[in-house]
Amino acid sequence: MHSNRAFHWTDREAMLAFAADVAFAHLFVSSPEGPLVAHAPLTVTPEGNIRFHLSRANPPARHLEGAIALASLAGPDAYVSPDWYGSDDQVPTWNYVTVEARGPVRLLSEAELVRQLDDLSAAHESRLAPKTPWTRAKMRPGLFEGLLKAIVGFEMQVEDLRGTRKLGQNKKPEEIEGAAAGLPASGRGDMAALMRGARG
């Protein structure tokens, strides 16, 4: 995680909301063979913990129960040309928003895993309105239960939550505006809006 205090993000509720919105993490865990990473969709519990599931065949799944793991969630990112700042002696940089969660991991019960899957699909189906939401009730009897055997669910108790919002806060207002004005040329109007918001 970036150590520059100008970019630190400390609002826990906002970071958890970001995690729920991004909903896809790189999950790192140590193993006797060395560090392993899994890529998984996730949900955030009302208590502020992270639930996710993996294929049972995914190697990290064998090492997560009882381990301390790290989840990394990446939001918008963009290259920033030094020309956009409108001042001399600038260098290229990359702006981005990320959150890291760290904590011990426990195995979910089957009922908790089903809840995680239902919560995950409900959250993302709601984004597709006015489409009628998909639910597992649309599946033929017994199929869901059979597929459930192929995955395993986990919950990370989030003991450490860190965020970085590297949005040019260390630049002058006119330099930030210059970069924000240039970013749409690379298709990154989303980053321009974030930079302007961070300035305010």
Residues 44, 19 contacting (CB under 8 angstroms)? yes
Q: Two tokens at 97?
A: 């928003």
Among residues 195, 165, 162, 200, the alpha carbon closest in space to that of 84 is found at: 195
Residue ranges of alpha helices (H) inside the chain are: 12-22, 110-125, 143-148, 173-182, 189-199
pLDDT in tens, the chain (200 residues): 677 888 999 999 999 999 999 999 999 999 998 999 999 999 999 999 999 999 999 999 999 999 999 999 999 999 999 999 999 999 999 999 999 999 999 999 999 999 999 999 999 999 999 999 999 999 999 999 999 999 999 999 999 999 999 999 999 999 999 999 999 999 999 999 999 988 65
Neighbours of 49 (CB within 10 A): 18
How far apart are the C-alpha atoms of 2 and 4, rounded to whole Å?
A: 6
Neighbours of 15 (CB within 10 A): 24
Q: Two tokens at 37?
A: 């990473």
Helix axes 189-199, 173-182, angle to 10 degrees: 160
